[in-house]
Structure 1
Amino acid sequence: MITTDSDLCRSASVLVVDDESGMRSFLQKALQKHFGLVEVAGSVEIAEELRKRCHFDLLIVDVKLPGRSGIEWHEALQDPNRHSDVIFMTAYAELDTAIQALRAGAADFILKPFRLEQMMNAVKRVLQRRLLARENFLLRREVTRYIAADTPMLGDSSVIKRLEAVIQRVAPTPSPVLIEGESGTGKELVARSLHNQSGRDGAFVAINCGAIAPDLLEAELFGHTKGAFTGADRAREGLFSYAAGGTLFLDEIGEMPLAMQAKLLRALEQKSIRPVGSEREVPTNVRILAATNRTLSEEVQQQQFREDLYFRLNVLTLTLPPLRERSEDIPQLAHFFSRRLSEDLGLPAVPFSHEDLRVMQAHHWPGNIRELKNFIERCILLGHLPLDELQPRDTANAQGGGYPSCWPLEEVEKRHILRVLDACEGNKSAAARQLGIARKTLDRKLSGWQEGRDDMTGTE
């Protein structure tokens, strides 16, 4: 019987087209055990009506049909907007027929009569090719982006142990999980851990909702047809499709525009999506994980986030602690980053003394684990520990952020803003939220400092 990935099968849809009622019934009963949707039709005309209402991942079509033959079903075989794999069946072992079928775009060709095992093996091969194409797309996508979650969950603190226990318990379930925490606390790492322990066969697909232009986010998630918008020179599947049978991680969900939130809610409730420019619904089988460095309950009260979507996502919320609240984990994290980064950079690791680690544990770490990693990388590049960059939390509270008391307030503000911006890896929206100021205010200050530097450069 079919042995391909079970979650992929359950999310796939099949249409069988054959004028023999016995063959239709036989294949429908066999395929329904493995696929989420199996429809049958006795002619191309009936099949095309079904295809207009629903997208099918796989078409199993008899060549000889009343009226138009299967090979003449041009609407399905040449549809540029919604591709379906096709397996042709025929009782006539003619070379010309086989050539015509392959030219028409057949993924496989089976002679009647056949054993069920033959058909299932053909289906398996087709689905595996489809899965491989999706995995290749995801691999190319991952290679072009920095994966911050390339770090195992480290730490022996009680809060991390409790977090690991919850992850282990909820990972195998299909329930959505909302992950909250400050920037740099490892939210994507937790999402990947949930996926890795879920047992799901499909891929882990991550998207930063704040990094995609609002007018392109829908197409990125749901896919689009050819010509759906300017620049859409070909049809493309969305990330919901590439995550079939797996996990879709919606990072920075709080940045999603309200209009898109409504469309996402509908997709989650209907368990189907509609590609941009298409009138067809495509069934989905995806586990949703979402993350934010905002407090979504407050965003709901301020009408910045849809209440119904919040309740849909908030089945379980995992709140990640900032690094300053788990300082006992810093030595383990520092040693790990030192080993990993020294290998990546081809430079010797910098040793840490007990006193060095105590200084690191006393630092506030506003950028959390991400800031610690950047600091360790800087240590390796410099060949020593710039501990003067790190200020104890008590000193920070006493001196307004860990800066010398002789500094003017304007300089303290500037250094603090630049440090937070660096901890947020240049993400101005995240830095503005952490600083408690408007994004426009941050832009204005940065612009003023840049103009000041330009003026100084011009006078020298």
Structure 2
Amino acid sequence: MRTKALNPLPILLVDDESQILHSASLVLRGAGHAEVLTLDDSRAVLPLLAERPVGVIVLDLTMPHLSGLALLASIAAEYPEIAVIVMTATNDLPTAVECMRNGASDYLLKPVERDCLVAAVRRAVEARLLRAELLSLKDCLLANQPHQPSRFEEIVTQSSAMFAIFRYIEAVAASPQPVLISGETGTGKELIARALHRQSGRPGELVAVNVAGLDDNLFADTLFGHAKGSFTGADRARDGLIASTGDGTLFLDEIGDLSIALQVKLLRLLQDGSYYPIGADRPRQSRARIVVATHCDVKRQAEQGGFRKDLYFRLRTHHIQLPPLRERREDLPQLTLHFVEKAAASLGRPAPNVPPALFQWLENYRFPGNIRELEGLMFDAVARSQGSVLSLQSVKDAIADEGFGNRSGDAAVEFAAPAAEFPERLPTLKEAEEALIGEALRRAQGNQGVAAGLLGISRQALNKRLTRRDADGF
């Protein structure tokens, strides 16, 4: 059975005792380290490092020809990026202190328990990966654009906030650690997960599953699979999605809806890459990278006891917070045209022309459903359009149904701006009306029809007020 490749660089074991090299190599391979090298002659270490990169070295101290302490000093001087774990029978505090001062990341006493060795190597690997990610993140954040824009071509944007997210994705894509994508419904979390997977270069596919509709048993069977005979009707073994994902990315959407019992199982998977198919008595190892998404505030859920804190902090090793559409309004024209063309293509007709008034209507709407709502509005508008110009009526009706305007005397509830703050001296009704009309015209970019909709009155009523205002000399 293949195991999860935790580290792209090999682990090097250096010890003059062949039995220790053999047993430690088996332990590390069983824990998921695909490539483990062994050397029984300390003099061969530096020539090997000159020829090929190594991620972590597990080094004995007492060896003939070249002592481990002398070799540690040479490695620290010439290859400071390599983590070195000392594994020795020398139980001496001054020696341990000297090793740590010379750059050792850990000091283990023989005989070393399996779990202790695995944990020490895992810590060293994660520390190395973290340093690499920080350097990559620094490089990416200094740029204004992503280094590989083609990896993000599915995402229509010209927002600087989104470009910053792209650069962050480039920095963390190669990490094996989980990623938490959060944002309101309809902000494009699955698109971000797909871009992250493409950027990672992982050889497997991205497998997406919405966990919100799965109960505990269905979740466990869907993700972990089951052994033959594990329950009534299980006449053959079944691999779950984790096994079928292989070296790819497993995307779990709506992770905030998981029960506490399922959170425990997911935590075990994230901690050591192991999981148990239903009815199995031996664990299996996952090779998949885990990406999760939620529209919930999982931090608040964790504080209130609805979400395990240890799982939350494990998931948010890398965190992507997507902005709502109302915070990236510079994308509205580009997204609108994109969805109009997409809708027209799906209906097999030419794309209608988009009147400028449409952008003015959309600019003043909050979009509680975000990009998904905009897409639906444009598909409906294109479907209703009969001529060469996009129909605005369906958009106006949909926006009004969400409380955009004051139809039939109903109060508006979805304005893009916060409530007004009054000065100490209240304005007169005439002054308030003048200010309100001026602000509506400004938001509507001079379009009186749109301004009237913002004010909840007819265009004729607005014209009367403007005529009266001009006659009174305002």
Give the TM-score band, short-chain normalised. 0.5 to 0.7
- Distance in 1 (CA, whole Å) between partners of 2:7 and 2:236 is 27
Q: Which residue of 2 aligns with 1:219?
A: 221
Q: Which residue of 1 aligns with 2:409?
A: 406
Q: Which residue of 2 aligns with 1:433?
A: none
- Find 1:166's aligned residue among 165, 168, 172: 168
Q: Structure 1 residues 298, 8: closer, same or farther in 2, change over 3 A?
A: closer
Please, what TM-score do these two structures have when normalized by structure 1? 0.54
Q: Structure 1 residues 216, 348: closer, same or farther in 2, change over 3 A?
A: same
SS at match of 1:163: helix
- Distance in 2 (CA, whole Å) between partners of 1:280 and 1:209 is 25
- Find 1:388's aligned residue among 379, 383, 396: 396
Residue 344 of structure 1: how far off its partner (Å): 2.0
SS at match of 1:206: strand
SS at match of 1:197: helix
Residue 360 of structure 1: how far off its partner (Å): 1.8
The runs of 4+ residues in structure 1 deviating greater than 6 Å are 5-11
- Distance in 1 (CA, whole Å) between partners of 2:274 and 2:399 is 51
Q: Structure 1 residues 346, 324: closer, same or farther in 2, change over 3 A?
A: same
Alignment of 1:172-211 (within 5 A): 172-211=174-213
Q: Which residue of 2 aligns with 1:370?
A: 372
* AA partner of residue 308 (structure 1): D
Bigger relative contact order (CA 8 A; separation at least 6): 1
Kindly tell me the number of residue pairs found equivalent between the two proteins.
273
Q: Which residue of 2 aligns with 1:330?
A: 332
Q: Deviations over 1:377-416 (max 9, x none)?
A: 1012111232323549xx98xxx65442524x8xx99x9x
- Find 2:258's aligned residue among 252, 256, 268: 256
Q: Deviations over 1:311-364 (max 9, x none)?
A: 110112111111111111011111112222222222332321222122122221
Q: Which residue of 2 aligns with 1:228?
A: 230
- Distance in 1 (CA, whole Å) between partners of 2:330 and 2:374 is 14
Please provide the CA RMSD for this pair. 3.3
Higher Rg:
2
Q: Structure 1 residues 238, 372: closer, same or farther in 2, change over 3 A?
A: same
Residue 310 of structure 1: how far off its partner (Å): 0.4
- Distance in 2 (CA, whole Å) between partners of 1:225 and 1:284 is 16
* AA partner of residue 372 (structure 2): R
Alignment of 1:151-162 (within 5 A): 152-162=154-164
Is the CA contact (8 Å cut-off) linking 1:7 and 1:202 kept in structure 2? no
* AA partner of residue 371 (structure 2): I
- Find 2:298's aligned residue among 273, 288, 296: 296
- Distance in 1 (CA, whole Å) between partners of 2:282 and 2:7 is 19
- Distance in 2 (CA, whole Å) between partners of 1:314 and 1:224 is 29
* AA partner of residue 224 (structure 1): H
Q: Which residue of 2 aligns with 1:286?
A: 288
- For structure 1, list consecutive stretches of 5 or more residues without a partner in the other structure: 12-24, 39-149, 416-460
Q: Deviations over 1:213-251 (max 9, x none)?
A: 332101111111233234434321111111111111111
Is the CA contact (8 Å cut-off) linking 2:187 and 2:322 kept in structure 1? yes
Q: Structure 1 residues 7, 213: closer, same or farther in 2, change over 3 A?
A: closer
Q: Structure 1 residues 178, 368: closer, same or farther in 2, change over 3 A?
A: same
Percent same amino acid among aligned pairs?
Answer: 40
Residue 171 of structure 1: how far off its partner (Å): 1.2
- Distance in 2 (CA, whole Å) between partners of 1:382 and 1:7 is 52
